[in-house]
């Protein structure tokens, strides 16, 4: 089992929070593991257990060139003595970027496929062709997002988040799986607010709802997804985003990545300044990792 390090909750004492009359807390889940950090730890936990239970020695998963999931899966596989294969969207560009270089350096075999072929990642015939070419493997979907990922998210919410006093939980959303697991783990209590890191992220509302229904067979009314804080789309950045990230680092000693948590924190502070949250509210911000040692 992957080692888990307990993580602190810190308060961001900012002018914006004081003016708005709210409290902003940050759950530093980026510190739960040096390499398999944040929500990736929880999404992979039960997938790794299932792979071992089934006797699989190889993990295969999908991701883009800047995928935190590829990075985390490669690290987890190495730590847990699995072989790993990453099916990467797009052509190989050398030298590899730091994420893919780390994955290959951790022992992951990288297979680059066209964007057209990548769209077949959930197709049964395509998966079978991968088995014929690459051998037997345990399949972890793109982003690690399956029912076992939701099980990990549910456990995290039940064991780690439910002991914290807050009114709103804010987190970045890439697939909706982590958010869905957390909603179930909180049992419909509190308000859960996701921040899409993808442009045109309205589809994530339906995706999250599908995850919830498939996993728990329940409807929940305590959640929403903000879609206006993507800063250009996945892995895209703007000067405003970097300004927020630098401010958090310099003024509050809070490091953020520019793909996930940075966008979410920028969105939270924008909403605070717009008095979106009622006075007296406590906002818990979930740092979902994504920071990679250099």
- What burial class does residue 293 get, using C-beta atoms within 10 Å of its C-beta: 0-12 exposed, 13-18 middle, 19+ buried? exposed
User: Tokens standing for 27?
Assistant: 């759950």
Residue written as token pair 């004081």: 18
Q: Rounded to whole angstroms, what are the CA distances from 275 to 279, 281, 284?
A: 8, 11, 16
Are 153 and 43 a contacting pair, CB within 8 Å?
yes
**pTM to 2 decimal places:** 0.94
Residue spans of beta strands (DSSP E) within 166-215? 168-173, 191-196
Are 206 and 173 a contacting pair, CB within 8 Å?
no
User: Tokens standing for 159?
Assistant: 């064991």
Residue written as token pair 């007296």: 280
Question: How far is it, in rounded angstroms, from Cα 259 to Cα 223?
Answer: 22
Q: What is the pLDDT along the chain (294 residues), one digit of tens a residue?
A: 899 999 999 999 999 999 999 999 999 999 999 999 999 999 999 999 999 999 999 999 999 998 999 999 999 999 999 999 999 999 999 999 999 999 999 999 999 999 999 999 999 999 999 999 999 999 999 999 999 999 999 999 999 999 999 999 999 999 999 999 999 999 989 999 999 999 999 999 999 999 999 999 999 999 999 999 999 988 788 999 999 999 999 999 999 999 999 999 999 999 999 999 999 999 999 999 988 875
Can you tell me whether residue 58 is helix, strand or coil? strand
Domains of the chain: 9-35+146-286 (3.40.50.1100), 39-144 (3.40.50.1100)
Are 70 and 108 a contacting pair, CB within 8 Å?
yes
């Amino acid at each position: 089992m992957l080692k888990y390090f307990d993580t602190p909750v810190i308060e961001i004492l900012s002018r914006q929070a004081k003016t708005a009359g709210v409290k902003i807390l940050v759950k530093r889940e980026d510190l739960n593991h040096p390499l398999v950090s944040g929500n990736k730890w929880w999404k992979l936990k039960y997938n790794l257990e299932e792979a071992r239970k089934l006797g699989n020695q190889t993990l295969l998963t999908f991701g883009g060139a800047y995928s935190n999931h590829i990075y985390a899966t490669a690290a987890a596989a190495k730590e847990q003595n699995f072989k790993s294969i990453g099916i990467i969207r797009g052509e190989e560009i050398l030298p590899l970027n730091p994420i893919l270089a780390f994955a290959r350096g951790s022992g992951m075999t990288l297979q680059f496929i066209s964007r057209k072929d990548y769209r077949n990642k959930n197709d049964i015939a395509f998966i079978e062709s991968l088995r014929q070419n690459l051998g037997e493997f345990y399949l972890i979907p793109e982003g690690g997002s399956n029912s076992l990922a939701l099980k990990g998210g549910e456990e995290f919410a039940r064991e780690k988040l439910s002991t914290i006093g807050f009114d709103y939980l804010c987190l970045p959303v890439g697939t909706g799986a982590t958010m869905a697991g957390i909603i179930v783990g909180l049992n419909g209590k509190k308000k859960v607010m996701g921040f899409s890191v993808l442009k045109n992220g309205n589809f994530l509302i339906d995706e999250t709802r599908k995850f919830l229904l498939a996993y728990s067979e329940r409807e929940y009314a305590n959640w929403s997804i903000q879609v206006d804080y993507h800063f250009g789309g996945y892995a895209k950045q703007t000067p405003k985003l970097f300004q927020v990230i630098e401010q958090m680092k310099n003024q509050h000693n809070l490091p953020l990545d520019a793909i996930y948590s940075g966008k979410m924190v920028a969105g939270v502070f924008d909403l605070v300044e717009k008095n979106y949250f009622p006075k007296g509210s406590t906002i818990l911000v979930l740092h979902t990792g994504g920071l990679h040692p250099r």
